[in-house]
Amino acid sequence: MTDRELLRTGLNEYLSEVSDKTIDNLLKFSELLLEKNKVMNLTAITDPTEVVTRHFLDCAALASHMPQGGRVLDVGTGAGFPGMPLAILCPQTEFVLLDALRKRIDFLNEVIETLGLTNVTAVHARAEDFAKENRASFDMTVSRAVADLRTLSELAVPMVKTGGVFLAMKAADCAEEVQGAAHAFEVLGIGEPETLRYTVPHDGVERALVRLPKISETPAQMTHEATRKNEGCRIFSP
């Protein structure tokens, strides 16, 4: 199959309808990514077919979870994953792609302009700094970053509204990581975690989405150590 055929058939395993324009935009994103990757380190994947299977069809597993009409923050987006494919797939959802490296954000802004996307914004900032002005501002946060789940939760959850969700993309064998973050979840206001496993179409790799519902507010001022087990929750007064 061609890359276009792989992309369409793979996406159809997640979504009932995928327009030609959506396919065109994803393939154009792949083209821009691989071209820019020649001069800066954006991805270790350099084969167009693998961009489809290992990037796009992996990220598309989140599409059905996106809040229609809501706001989603991608924490540590890197080269735009999973946020950019999701923005292309879910035009009714507003996305903010956050990364601490200016060069990546400049690239993502080029993609946004080239594709004419109106539902996505790329922001250059550290998550810790961005959170200061954006607490409880998003219906959902997502991340495909390589950091451990406890650290990702500390960064992402404060920016989720109560009643919202943090979705973390992880390897299939993430049970120990989820268990190790249990104390952090409690402190941050997260309810019962749910691990949703899936197999990436045309790739066969098993992956997991860790779904973390936010059931109560995250303490306004909290030390990094507060989410570490046996440290207690040490809240600073304003």
CATH of the domain at 198: 3.40.50.150
pTM exceeds 0.85 for this model: yes
pLDDT at 60: 98
Q: Which residue range forms the structural domain that includes residue 161?
A: 3-216
With respect to residue 149, please indicate whether it lies within any of the assigned structural domains. Answer: yes
How many separate domains does the chain show?
A: 1
CA dist., res. 98 & res. 128, Å (int): 11
pLDDT at 220: 81
pLDDT at 16: 93
With respect to residue 223, please indicate whether it lies within any of the assigned structural domains. Answer: no
Q: Which residues of the chain have pLDDT under 50?
A: 223, 225, 230-238
With respect to residue 151, please indicate whether it lies within any of the assigned structural domains. Answer: yes
Say how far residue 116 (Cα) sits from the centre of its chain: 21
With respect to residue 221, please indicate whether it lies within any of the assigned structural domains. Answer: no
pLDDT at 230: 42
Instruction: Compute the mean pLDDT over every residue in the chain, rounded to the nearest whole number.
Output: 92
With respect to residue 226, please indicate whether it lies within any of the assigned structural domains. Answer: no
With respect to residue 225, please indicate whether it lies within any of the assigned structural domains. Answer: no
With respect to residue 33, please indicate whether it lies within any of the assigned structural domains. Answer: yes
* Structural tokens at position 190: 């997260």
CA dist., res. 70 & res. 95, Å (int): 9
With respect to residue 229, please indicate whether it lies within any of the assigned structural domains. Answer: no
CB atoms near residue 28 (< 10 Å)? 14
